């Protein structure tokens, strides 16, 4: 009889991914959440995973072998309180994953403030293209696979290594559990202001990760980041390959890739932006450590389809193109707008922003927003439920910024300003109230 796990907070991308690969590995999987709705609910139910709405104590009757606790669960949660009172077995998602499914794997962990999902997807695809059949757990849906998580018989497992905390009872970053043999440190900036006091606190967590990489492993590190240099200076017992600098892995404006000054080949693809070139270097270096020749890695990347919600075209109507992107940190907003600008030249870019990440809601990054939007012709910001003054924060943009507290009013304002040839770039790390479909319908005159 298969072991039974019951996941609290199953509908998040990470915990949903754990549910999927646990099911594939032969476990009986059930779960609950306060927000059981598509697409995650559909994805899980099609895999035969029973979902329960809410955190009622009647779920104790399921009597799983262990309760796996997502980091959305806090003290006061009725089901969690009863688990604690009865001294029932529980663990965190990352700990369960490490103890049961990753123990015998060559883990390739991709960490960083930005680009984790894209770089993990690139790396998984390179390994797949090379016939290595990797397992993976990624915080988005790589379009080369159309699934966010899978377990295979391959020794290789690619994981998006998140610095966010593990659970209410384990405040270490998730990534300290994974013990990667290949660790990518993509970049490091201040983020997650709800759990980290400052950049130094995040650097400490990254150093905890570095401490877990064995001496026969590899650290692939962004050579342009002072923060990561400080992390390595604290102590590193593993060979390091740097990317983004002439001494290590380098890519020029013509997409020519070199290592220590030796030309290795050309990256031929249609992804936009310097950030994606850097992501590609990191993926190539990590894949090479797993045995994939660089030429083969470059061939794989020429067939790479970007992750959903990464500059994804959601529709075109009356000469206007609407994009969807996950960008929510000012640095990511800046690179996303810059990438689109390099593609569309002088066409007008209308940036549409929902500051909804925990860091953005706290207003920690608000002063950096105007500069991150400098290459947009107009900016439309949704300020519903914000605890800070978005109008004041964007005041330096003058009449190039429109702020609305009501979503329908925001859509009306965008539609009133949009004209043929415009590129509308919608940026949010959430659903944004279905703005893409509503906006396309409005632009098409059907609303």
pLDDT digits (tens, 9 = 90+) for 253-295: 888 999 999 999 999 987 777 888 999 999 999 999 999 999 9
The predicted pLDDT at position 155 comes to 98
Per-domain residue ranges of the chain: 4-93, 102-301, 312-443
Beta carbons of 351 and 373 less than 8 angstroms apart: yes
Output the pLDDT for position 232. 96
Q: Which residues touch 329 (CB under 8 Å, ≥6 apart)?
A: 113, 114, 189, 191, 357, 359, 360, 365
Q: What is the pLDDT of residues 287-331, one digit of tens each?
A: 999 999 999 999 999 999 876 667 788 989 999 999 998 777 787
Two structure tokens written together for 355: 């500051």
- Overall residue count recorded for the chain in this entry: 447
Q: Are 240 and 249 in contact (CB under 8 A)?
A: no
CB atoms within 10 A of CB 236: 16
**Three-class SS state of 256:** strand
pLDDT at position 388 is 83
Query: d(Cα 278, Cα 222) in Å, to the nearest integer?
Result: 8
SS3 assignment, position 85: helix
Fold designation for 4-93:
Rossmann fold (3.40.50)
Query: CATH: 3.40.1190.10, 3.90.245.10, 3.90.76.10, 1.20.120.1760. Which one for 102-301?
Result: 3.40.1190.10
* Residue 192 pLDDT exceeds 60: no
pLDDT of residue 383: 87
- Given a cut of 50, is residue 447 above it in pLDDT? no
The per-residue pLDDT for range 48-73, each reduced to its tens digit, is: 999 999 999 999 999 999 999 999 99
The whole-angstrom separation of Cα 178 and Cα 97 is 8
- Give backbone dihedrals phi and psi of 61, rounded to 5 degrees, phi first: -65, -15
- Taking phi over 0 as left and psi of -120 to 50 as alpha, with beta for the rest, 287 belongs to alpha
Domain 312-443 is classified in which CATH homologous superfamily? Mur ligase, C-terminal domain (3.90.190.20)
| DSSP classification of residue 267 | -
């Amino acid at each position: 009889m298969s072991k039974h796990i019951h996941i609290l907070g199953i509908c998040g991308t990470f915990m949903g991914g754990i549910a999927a690969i646990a099911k594939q590995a032969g476990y009986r999987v059930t779960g609950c959440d306060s927000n059981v709705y598509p697409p995650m609910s559909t994805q899980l139910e099609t895999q035969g995973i029973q979902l329960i709405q809410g955190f009622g104590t009647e779920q104790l009757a399921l009597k799983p072998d262990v309760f796996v606790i997502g980091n959305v669960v806090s003290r006061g949660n009725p089901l969690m309180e009863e688990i604690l009172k009865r001294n029932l077995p529980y663990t965190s998602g990352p700990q369960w994953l490490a103890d049961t499914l990753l123990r015998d794997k060559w883990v390739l962990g991709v960490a960083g403030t930005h680009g984790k999902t894209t770089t993990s997807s690139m790396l998984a695809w390179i390994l797949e293209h090379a016939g290595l059949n990797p397992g993976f757990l990624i915080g988005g849906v790589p379009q080369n696979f159309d699934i966010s998580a899978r377990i295979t018989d391959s020794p290789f497992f690619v994981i998006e290594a998140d610095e966010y905390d593990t659970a209410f009872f384990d405040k270490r970053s998730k990534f300290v559990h994974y013990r990667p043999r290949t660790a990518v440190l993509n970049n490091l900036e201040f983020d997650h202001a709800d759990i980290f006091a400052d950049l130094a606190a995040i650097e400490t967590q990254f150093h905890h990760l570095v401490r877990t990489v064995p001496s026969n492993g590899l650290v692939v590190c962004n050579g342009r980041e002072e923060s990561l240099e400080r992390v390595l200076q604290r102590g590193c017992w593993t060979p390091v390959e740097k990317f983004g600098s002439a001494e290590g892995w380098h890519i020029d404006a013509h997409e020519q890739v070199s290592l220590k000054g030796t030309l290795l080949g050309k990256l031929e693809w249609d992804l936009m932006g310097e950030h994606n070139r850097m992501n590609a270097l990191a993926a190539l270096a990590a894949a090479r450590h797993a045995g994939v020749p660089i030429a083969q890695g470059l061939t794989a990347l020429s067939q790479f389809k970007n992750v959903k919600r990464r500059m994804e075209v959601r529709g075109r109507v009356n000469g206007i193109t609407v994009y969807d992107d996950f960008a929510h940190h000012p640095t990511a907003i800046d690179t996303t707008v810059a990438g689109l600008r390099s593609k569309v030249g002088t066409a007008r870019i209308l940036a549409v922003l929902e500051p909804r990440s925990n860091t953005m809601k706290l207003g920690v990054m608000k002063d950096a927003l105007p500069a991150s939007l400098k290459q947009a012709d107009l900016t439309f910001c949704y300020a519903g439920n914000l605890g800070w003054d978005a109008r004041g924060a964007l005041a330096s943009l003058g009449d190039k910024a429109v702020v609305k507290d009501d979503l329908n009013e925001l859509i009306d304002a965008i539609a009133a300003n949009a004209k043929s040839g415009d590129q509308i770039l919608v940026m949010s790390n959430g659903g944004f109230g279905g703005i893409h479909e509503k906006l396309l319908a409005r632009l098409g005159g059907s609303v």
